[in-house]
A and B are shown apart, each in its own frame.
Chain A
Amino acid sequence: DQQVKQNSPSLSVQEGRISILNCDYTNSMFDYFLWYKKYPAEGPTFLISISSIKDKNEDGRFTVFLNKSAKHLSLHIVPSQPGDSAVYFCAASAGQGGSEKLVFGKGTKLTVNP
């Protein structure tokens, strides 16, 4: 039973356009959400996070939106760059950002074409 779902295994966008990666969750106890980026043969690296008390968090080109009622979050990257090409994982925890185990989605492979 997947608690965190990323229904799009891949996404392809043109350089300079917006990339939108989606994530849905089922566990209403989740109160902290994160996006990780992973290049081949490397471990995931933290990108951006959002607490359930917020509906938006922005960091440079990256913005995460949270819709608690729909149990849905999305990552927007604008403008997209070829270096953004990677696998993006959505993750959730139930510890309000404490040192809690993370529950991950299966990932979305983003390809940004020059």
Chain B
Amino acid sequence: GAGVSQSPSNKVTEKGKDVELRCDPISGHTALYWYRQSLGQGLEFLIYFQGNSAPDKSGLPSDRFSAERTGGSVSTLTIQRTQQEDSAVYLCASGLAGNTDTQYFGPGTRLTVL
């Protein structure tokens, strides 16, 4: 079956521009997570959606970052006024409520801010 998909796979933008990254989770998964991996670093938690509950935004690094999940399915991560330090691979994962083992990751979006 279809896994988690993310688009675009690569995004190059200029400093100061806004970008939107998209995640299509596995159908039926109620949990959705965004992480990012900067060069030489581990995955860093950004935000977590679970069903209709308020999202856990505790990992968002600044107010330039926001995310939405529409209809309990597709999610978009928006970065406003991008900075060079935002350059990273942004990974989305989806999963089933109550089971951390089932966080299935997408291939990621590589964001480069020039």
Contact = CB atoms under 8 A, between A and B. Distances in A.
- The answer to whether A and B interact is yes
Interface of A: 4, 6, 32, 34, 36, 41-46, 49, 89, 91, 93, 95, 97-107
Interface of B: 4, 30-31, 33, 35, 40-45, 48, 50, 56, 58-59, 91, 93, 95-108
B101 A34 contact: yes
Contact of B44 (A46, A93, A104): A104
A42 B41 CA distance: 16
Contacts of A105: 42
B107 A46 contact: no
Contacts of A36: 105
Given A4-B42, A43-B4, 17 more contacts: A32-B100, A43-B93, A43-B105, A43-B108, A89-B43, A91-B43, A97-B100, A99-B48, A99-B98, A99-B100, A101-B56, A101-B59, A102-B33, A102-B103, A103-B45, A106-B40, A107-B42
